[in-house]
Amino acid sequence: MTTARSNDAPTAMIDRVASLLQVFDGGHRFTLAEVSRRAGLPRSSAHRILGRLVDLGWIERRGFEYALGIRMFELGSQVVRRDGVHQAALPHMHALHRSTGLTVHLSALQSGDVLHLERIGGWPEKGEGWRLGARQPAVHSAAGRALLAQLDDADWPALSYPPPATPGGVRTEADLRREIDRVRDRDGVAVDAEGCSAGVTAVAAAIGPSEDGLSAALSLCGPATAVPVDRAVAAVRRAATDIWYAAFGVTRLRGRPTRPVHAALPLADALTAVARG
Binding mask 62-101 for a second copy (x = CB under 8 A): x----xxxx-xxxxxxxxxxx-------xx--x---x---
- Closest contact distance (angstroms) between CB of 155 and a second copy is 17
Q: Does 38 bind a second copy (CB under 8 A)?
A: no
**Complete edge-to-edge strand list for the sheet that includes strand 30-31:** 30-31, 65-68, 59-62
- Closest contact distance (angstroms) between CB of 160 and a second copy is 17
Q: Which amino acid is at 80?
A: V
Of these, 167, 213, 249, 257, which contacts a second copy (CB under 8 A)? Answer: 213
Q: Does 110 bind a second copy (CB under 8 A)?
A: yes
- Closest contact distance (angstroms) between CB of 48 and a second copy is 5
109 versus 183: smaller Cβ distance to a second copy:
109
Which residues here bind a second copy, judged by CB under 8 A? 2-3, 5-18, 21, 24-29, 42, 44-45, 48-49, 52-53, 56, 58, 62, 67-70, 72-82, 90-91, 94, 98, 108, 110, 115, 117, 120-122, 125, 131-135, 212-213, 276
